[in-house]
Amino acid sequence: MSNKLVYLFHEGSADMKNLLGGKGANLAEMTRAGLPVPPGFTITTEACSAFFAANETLTDETLNQVRDAVRQLESQTGKRLGDPGNPLLVSVRSGAVFSMPGMMDTILNLGLNDETVEGLSQLTGNPRFAYDCYRRFIQMFGDVVLGVDHYRFEHIIQQRKEEIGVKQDTEMGAEDWKWVIGHFQALIREKTKAEFPQDPEEQLKRAIIAVFQSWNNQRAKIYRKIHKIPDNLGTAVNVQLMVFGNMGEDSGTGVAFTRNPSTGDKEIYGEFLINAQGEDVVAGVRTPRPISELREQMPAIYEQFASISNQLEQHYKDMQDIEFTVERGKLYILQTRAGKRTAGAAVKIAVNMVEEGIITRDEALMRVDPDQLSQMLHRRLDPHAKLNVIAKGLPASPGAATGHIVFNADDAEKLANEGARVILVRPETTPEDIHGILAAQGVLTSRGGMTSHAAVVARGMGKACICGCEQLKIDLRKKEMSVGDLILKEGDMIAIDGSTGQVIQGEVPLIDPELSPEFKQLLSWADEVRTLQVRANADNPEDSNKARELGAEGIGLCRTEHMFMEASRIPIVQQMILAETREERAEALAKLLPMQKEDFVGIFKAMAGLPVTIRLLDPPLHEFLPNMEALLVELTRMQMDEKTDRTELIQKEALLRKVRALHEFNPMLGHRGCRLGLTYPEIYEMQVEAIFLAALECIEEGIRVEPEIMIPLVGHVNELKQMRELVDRVAQEIERRTGKTVSYTVGTMIEVPRAALTAREIAEEADFFSFGTNDLTQTTFGYSRDDAEGKFLHAYVEHKILPDNPFITLDPNGVGQLIRLGVEQGRMTKPGLKTGICGEHGGEKRSIQFCHEAGLNYVSCSPFRVPLARLAAAQAVI
Ligand code: ADP
Ligand code: MG
Ligand code: MG
């Protein structure tokens, strides 16, 4: 039996997405549900694979089945392809498995030629309409199939408009479009050395090929890369009877969401254009009108649309993004899909849908992508800032941004790479601008609506965006924009508020966000479901407070070296390092002790009642000393200068000697972590004393503290054994001195392979394990993190040698195996051994999933990632 490669709409259904693509499957589903969908058929993604396998030719099997489907469509509609008496006109639409809005190509009005256009004109009694359709077809076919640049067509239209003195497309008459068509055909003859194809069968065949090929166009590839969509899926092609929104004032076309995609509010939200075809809305050529005007102008249509919109939402149990067209007072639905939304809207819609009884709590938890949550933590304009608002546009994607104006995507990328914050300002954006949007803090356009390209893409990326800000006059050539008399040039600072649409001159301070009630609700559901605890990495009271506010259940990693780096302490730290004798060192450490103690008091207070894991000093000491080259330059200068003070010179020379002595070829594998603690025990003693004194001070004030002292970089049980003795010794001494005790635990980081491999022995001495997966990844792969990322890792991921950057997503097969082994072996020695992870991976959703499966007790991540981790940990259970 032959393979079925073509499905009529009524033969498919929503669960056939892999075969029919998202658009095709939903068209099929809506057809079955009896909604007013123009008839048509879908050519499957399998046919697409066959097409690429056959060197980009359509197989006979595909062609035959397409021909059959066309015959069926003809008998369904009573029209015939190429029949001037009653021509069948179709759209040829791309439709991938995962929606890639605007990334691939679509051709409308196919089937028109010099004869059928006359037929259409007579049949409808509307020559202007017929020629408008034909010129659109030539334009799209010319661009997509024949590769003639889009702007050349626009140029011809512009030329005609100037000749007859009109501005809008709608003001062009039948004769004008005829003139345009003549010039279009001449353009195509000149550019392709061939006539515009007149045979509709050939038109159809070539259009299908072009849509298949558009799977591999540059912008589609980039989009797939950003959204991690596999390259081998291919696209389906939908061939569908045309309906016409450009038949006059009783016709139109629009796009609407069943809920507000920006805020999540329950209201139909969208835009439409009277007397227009679909691409006019999406392309942002004319700025469309809000859907509320449809309600006034065509109340019956609006009511029908509202009821279908509700029906679709109930059916799919999710917010829908619906494309529709009205042809002479009759409504047609052309597409429905789950609507893209901001994180804020995603959370609100998920929570509201639970309240409305549409979905369950678990479903709601799965509806929100943890990665999106960082958007919720969007910054806002400082409400106290004085704003010089110069213009207002559509609030297309919330959040505020401030930066230098740039006028094209390449400049945006270049400046952002140099570390500048930029706002991309364009008349409108196209899929070619994606890299610029990615690089920019925010996007501002003068044309296009809430569903224009810029709006959709920015919302997806969680960037601030204002669209359709028509007061702006943008001059791309001069690289400047003006509002009234005010002229702003490239590089000038502006701020935009994507929640209000305000454009502001100058730089505006931004402030941190507050969390919505729905956000808190969703996370509290997540907390009920998850078994993995979530802690934060924080080194100071401020971060600790933030972490707690965001739901952290303790600190998983408090790095003490950051406290040493503080400008006022560096001289004392250096004094301690440069000390020639034990006494000298003790003197410097005595100065550091009260400072360290205060650090810990602040953190313990912020985390009152919750565990705090404090890691003793980890980096090599030379990190606290000046850079050797800089020192050499300085020294040479001093030696040449007669006025240099002798003792100062001697001090500098001593410093240089020390820097030289501490220099290491491989600091990452050098004198650091517990190796420091073993060779300079007095440093660790001071830190431990500071921890206990701080704890005692808090206990005195009635605050519960739970210090967990963590020894870094252990590779052999004896290292930990000695360090543990050191901690216990200090504890006893303090008890003797003060008569008070603090309860504490001592554990270790597992961050070199040997520690994981000998976890059974190490657990004898450890109360807890914390997998330091940054170092564990370095040491397992043998990659130096600081060098690998810039040098080869990028290429490794690009060429798929590694599936992911292992410093971002935990490598489950290598590093992950060591973690599993460590947990398993450690718990053989101590069944209740507490285990956690404190690398960057603790805030990454796939790594969190892994940690859940590996049976860890907690993950620890930066404070702002805590909500993400709470949700991801819940999703790992569901
Ligand atoms: P995209 O995936 O880029 O949204 P579509 O295939 O949805 O591309 O087509 C773009 C627009 O073309 C649609 O929004 C719709 O307005 C218009 N269109 C597509 N097919 C038809 C049709 N059969 N009749 C009328 N308009 C159509
Ligand atoms: Mg569409
Ligand atoms: Mg480490």
Establish whether 841 is a catalytic residue: no
Nearest CA to ligand 1 atom 1: 102
pLDDT surpasses 70 at 58: yes
Please return the burial class of 316, using the count of CB atoms within 10 Å of its CB with bins 0-12, 13-18 and 19+. Answer: middle
Q: Which of 48, 838, 851, 861 is catalytic?
A: 838
Counting ligands in written order, which one lies closest to the CA of residue 99? 1
pLDDT surpasses 70 at 85: yes
User: Over the chain, what is the mean pLDDT?
Assistant: 93
Nearest CA to ligand 1 atom 15: 278
Ligand 1 mutation pick, 108, 112, 241, max ligand atoms within 8 A of CB: 108
**Strands 330-338 vs 768-771: parallel, antiparallel or unpaired:** unpaired
Q: What is the mean pLDDT of residues 8-32?
A: 96
Provide the pLDDT confidence category of residue 282 given band limits of 50, 70 and 90. low
Counting ligands in written order, which one lies closest to the CA of residue 770? 3
CATH topology for 6-241 is Dna Ligase; domain 1 (3.30.1490)
Residue 377 is predicted with a pLDDT of 78
Q: Which of 453, 622, 841, 852 is catalytic?
A: 453
252-338 against 530-620+664-877: fold identical:
no
Nearest CA to ligand 1 atom 23: 242
pLDDT tens profile 659-705 = 898 889 888 899 999 999 999 999 999 999 999 999 999 999 999 99
Q: Which atom from ligand 1 is nearest to the alpha carbon of 278?
A: 16
Q: Which atom from ligand 1 is nearest to the alpha carbon of 38?
A: 23
Counting ligands in written order, which one lies closest to the CA of residue 254? 1
Percent of the residues in the chain that have a pLDDT greater than 70, as a whole number: 99
**Strands 555-559 vs 533-537: parallel, antiparallel or unpaired:** parallel
Residue 298 is predicted with a pLDDT of 93
Provide the pLDDT confidence category of residue 460 given band limits of 50, 70 and 90. low
Establish whether 453 is a catalytic residue: yes
Q: Which atom from ligand 1 is nearest to the alpha carbon of 105?
A: 3
Which residue's entry shows tokens 């398993």? Answer: 824
pLDDT surpasses 70 at 481: yes
Q: Which atom from ligand 1 is nearest to the alpha carbon of 102?
A: 3
Question: How far, in Å, from the CA of 335 to the mean position of ligand 2?
Answer: 6
404: phi then psi, degrees, rounded to nearest 5: -85, 140
Nearest CA to ligand 1 atom 18: 278
649: phi then psi, degrees, rounded to nearest 5: -65, -45
pLDDT tens profile 226-242 = 788 888 899 999 999 99
| Tally of CB atoms within 10 A around 824 | 13
Counting ligands in written order, which one lies closest to the CA of residue 96? 1
Residue 188 is predicted with a pLDDT of 97
Ligand 1 mutation pick, 282, 324, 327, 430, max ligand atoms within 8 A of CB: 282
Domain 252-338 sits in CATH at 3.30.470.20
Q: Could you tell me which residues are annotated as the binding site for substrate? A: 559, 615, 751, 772-775
Amino acid at 454: A
pLDDT surpasses 90 at 293: no
Residue 461 is predicted with a pLDDT of 73
Counting ligands in written order, which one lies closest to the CA of residue 102? 1
pLDDT surpasses 60 at 462: yes
By three-state DSSP, how is residue 821 classified? Answer: helix
Nearest CA to ligand 1 atom 22: 242
Closest by CA to 464, choosing from 501, 431, 420, is: 501
pLDDT surpasses 60 at 161: yes
CATH for 530-620+664-877 (3.90.1150.10, 3.40.50.300, 3.20.20.60, 3.30.300.30): 3.20.20.60
pLDDT surpasses 90 at 211: yes
Of 2-6, 79-83, 266-270, 858-862, the range with the lowest mean pLDDT is 2-6
Please return the burial class of 135, using the count of CB atoms within 10 Å of its CB with bins 0-12, 13-18 and 19+. Answer: buried
Question: How far, in Å, from the CA of 431 to the mean position of ligand 2?
Answer: 14
Nearest CA to ligand 1 atom 14: 278
Ligand 1 mutation pick, 42, 79, 91, 320, max ligand atoms within 8 A of CB: 91
Question: How far, in Å, from the CA of 775 to the mean position of ligand 3?
Answer: 5
Q: Which atom from ligand 1 is nearest to the alpha carbon of 40?
A: 23
User: What is the interface pTM, i.e. ipTM, of the complex?
Assistant: 0.96
Question: How far, in Å, from the CA of 337 to the mean position of ligand 2?
Answer: 9
Q: In angstroms, how far is the first alpha carbon of the chain from the final one?
A: 41
Q: Could you tell me which residues are annotated as the binding site for Mg(2+)? A: 751, 775
Q: Which atom from ligand 1 is nearest to the alpha carbon of 90?
A: 23
236: phi then psi, degrees, rounded to nearest 5: -90, 170
pLDDT tens profile 717-735 = 999 999 999 999 999 999 9
Domain segments of the chain as ranges: 6-241, 252-338, 378-511, 530-620+664-877
Residues facing 162 on adjacent strands: none
Provide the pLDDT confidence category of residue 711 given band limits of 50, 70 and 90. very high
Q: Could you tell me which residues are annotated as the binding site? A: 559, 615, 751, 772-775
pLDDT surpasses 70 at 99: yes
pLDDT tens profile 522-561 = 999 999 999 999 999 998 998 899 899 999 999 999 999 8
Provide the pLDDT confidence category of residue 118 given band limits of 50, 70 and 90. very high
Please check whether residue 496 is in contact with residue 464, taking contact to mean a CB–CB distance below 8 angstroms: yes
Alpha carbons 271 and 266: distance in angstroms, whole number = 16
Of 162-166, 331-335, 872-876, the range with the lowest mean pLDDT is 162-166
pLDDT surpasses 70 at 268: yes
Closest by CA to 346, choosing from 263, 228, 266, is: 263
Q: How far is CA 145 from CA 138, 207, 219, 617, 733, in A?
A: 10, 6, 16, 64, 83
Nearest CA to ligand 1 atom 20: 91
Residue 376 is predicted with a pLDDT of 78
Q: Which atom from ligand 1 is nearest to the alpha carbon of 95?
A: 2
Of 83-87, 126-130, 139-143, 260-264, the range with the lowest mean pLDDT is 260-264
pLDDT surpasses 90 at 88: yes
Instruction: Name the CATH superfamily for 378-511.
Output: Phosphohistidine domain (3.50.30.10)
Counting ligands in written order, which one lies closest to the CA of residue 777? 3
Question: How far, in Å, from the CA of 222 to the mean position of ligand 2?
Answer: 19
Ligand 1 mutation pick, 334, 337, 456, max ligand atoms within 8 A of CB: 334
Question: How far, in Å, from the CA of 391 to the mean position of ligand 1?
Answer: 33
Question: How far, in Å, from the CA of 772 to the mean position of ligand 3?
Answer: 6
CA dihedral 638, 643, 646, 649 (to 10 degrees): -10
Provide the pLDDT confidence category of residue 413 given band limits of 50, 70 and 90. very high
Please check whether residue 351 is in contact with residue 438, taking contact to mean a CB–CB distance below 8 angstroms: no
Nearest CA to ligand 1 atom 3: 102
Residue 769 is predicted with a pLDDT of 98
CA dihedral 624, 627, 633, 635 (to 10 degrees): 30
Q: Which run of H or of E encompasses 70?
A: helix 60-77
Nearest CA to ligand 1 atom 17: 278
Question: How far, in Å, from the CA of 777 to the mean position of ligand 3?
Answer: 10
Whole-model pTM: value is 0.80
Q: Which atom from ligand 1 is nearest to the alpha carbon of 100?
A: 2
> What lines the ligand 1 site, CB under 6 Å?
38, 91, 93-94, 101-102, 106, 108, 240-243, 253, 278-279, 282, 323, 325, 334-335
Residue 566 is predicted with a pLDDT of 78
Residue 285 is predicted with a pLDDT of 60
Amino acid at 533: Q
Question: How far, in Å, from the CA of 751 to the mean position of ligand 3?
Answer: 6
Alpha carbons 431 and 279: distance in angstroms, whole number = 14
pLDDT surpasses 70 at 281: no
Q: What is the mean pLDDT of residues 805-833?
A: 96
Nearest CA to ligand 1 atom 6: 93
Question: How far, in Å, from the CA of 811 to the mean position of ligand 3?
Answer: 17
Ligand 1 mutation pick, 106, 129, 237, 452, max ligand atoms within 8 A of CB: 106
